[in-house]
Structure 1
Amino acid sequence: MSKLIISSLQELTQYEGQEMGISEWHTITQEQITKFADATLDHQWIHLDAERAKTETPFGATIAHGYLTVSLLPYLWSQIIDIRNLKMQVNYEIESLRFNQAVTVNSDVRLRAKLLSIKDLRGIAKTRIEVTLEIKDSKKPAYTGIITFLYHFNA
């Protein structure tokens, strides 16, 4: 998959209303889930106890934290687009985020993104991006939502 390369607000504006692309598949491992649990102090057994999750949940295995899957947004987004000539990028907002399907351990996920809108705030690009985290071999996505990034381009 070829990554979009953007160097200015004007270039980014050309993609308004269009699908930007799809990331590579990323496997959610138990090690990643465990490290996320340690980092966030969320040690709920459905994420960590494989034997109990196998017998006591409808998932049949441990599941990734919903927020772990959300935290993958910047990583997966960077596989779709390479925005250059930036002073900085700021995570601004997440709206209408809906978790649709649990992500079981060793599942592959990927991000699909569409640029809904872009506004020029005196040289700062405010982008609203529709995101869908797809799960390989699943009809339902892990989540859907809209994220907003602010891109501060160099003059």
Structure 2
Amino acid sequence: MSVIDLIKEKKERLSQNQAEFRELIAPQWREYWNELWQSARNHEWVNWVLDQDRKPVDTPQDSLTECDNPRAEAMRQTLLSQLGDVVYEGEWLTLEQDRINAFAEVTEDQQWIHTDPARAEQESPFRATIAHGFLTLSMIPKLTNSVDPANPPYPGAKMVVNLGLNKVRFPYPLKAGSRVRATKKIVAVEVVRRGLEVTEEVTVNIEHTRRPACVAETVVRLVY
């Protein structure tokens, strides 16, 4: 369950049982609970999440054709002019065995094709250890320079929320020690409440290899 879905579920549960819950807690905590609930309701990000439920179900998002926010509209026009073009090409990054091992430890995926170079050299058809596909996928924010606060990919947005992925493929194994870099295209831009929804096509290329390690469509929400 995503963070947004969890917040929505908790909001619905608390809304339905708020009075009953207040009766169960000790009197000295009731005032604190009221203040806490009001503070959460006033938080900008939480309100943005809850607003998704308030939108009438018979109002499709694509009926919004222009942004109310001037900065969002300016960004929309910029992105529309770039549709289908490569808007970013990153620097080369070496994916070392240490990074693969760290990912294996965190995810508890210690399969030998990732973590045992000696065995992989003897038994693997790739003759080397390879990165987890999900490690390559998780490197996309770094490879597209989306995590540098001094150089945001969408300047002017208050917040960029990762909504998920439309499609992911791993066309070619990524061997330990290989150098990779990513390119990014804008493939769709939609106006939504409080901002934009942007679909990007990210390709993670391997140096000296024709086929990429990963091709993914990512979807982000720009909140203004």
TM-score tier (shorter): 0.7 to 0.9
Partner of 1:82, secondary structure, is coil
Q: Counterpart in 2 of 1:149?
A: 220
Check the 8 A contact 2:72/2:196 in 1, yes or no: no
Q: Counterpart in 1 of 2:174?
A: 103
Of the three residues 90, 97, 114, the one matched with 1:30 is 97
- Which whole-Å deviations, capped at 9, do the CAs of 1:47-102 have from their partners, x for residues lacking one? 11010000101111111110000001111122696322232211112122111001
Q: Counterpart in 2 of 1:90?
A: 161
Unaligned 5+ segments in structure 1 are: 1-6
Q: Counterpart in 2 of 1:3?
A: none
Of the three residues 62, 68, 71, the one matched with 2:138 is 71
Check the 8 A contact 1:8/1:84 in 2, yes or no: no
Instruction: Point out which structure has higher relative CO (alpha carbons under 8 A, 6+ apart).
Output: 1
Amino acid at match of 2:201: E
Amino acid at match of 2:216: G
Cα pair distance change 1:58/1:10, threshold 3 Å: same
Which has more radius of gyration? 2
Q: Distance in 1 between matches of 2:165 and 2:190?
A: 16
What count of residue pairs does the alignment treat as equivalent?
147
Amino acid at match of 2:124: T
Check the 8 A contact 1:129/1:148 in 2, yes or no: yes
- Superposed displacement of residue 9, structure 1: 4.9
Report which of the two has the higher share of helix: 2
Q: Which 4+ runs in 1 deviate beyond 3 A?
A: none
Q: Distance in 1 between matches of 2:117 and 2:129?
A: 5
Unaligned 5+ segments in structure 2 are: 1-70
Q: Distance in 2 between matches of 1:17 and 1:50?
A: 40
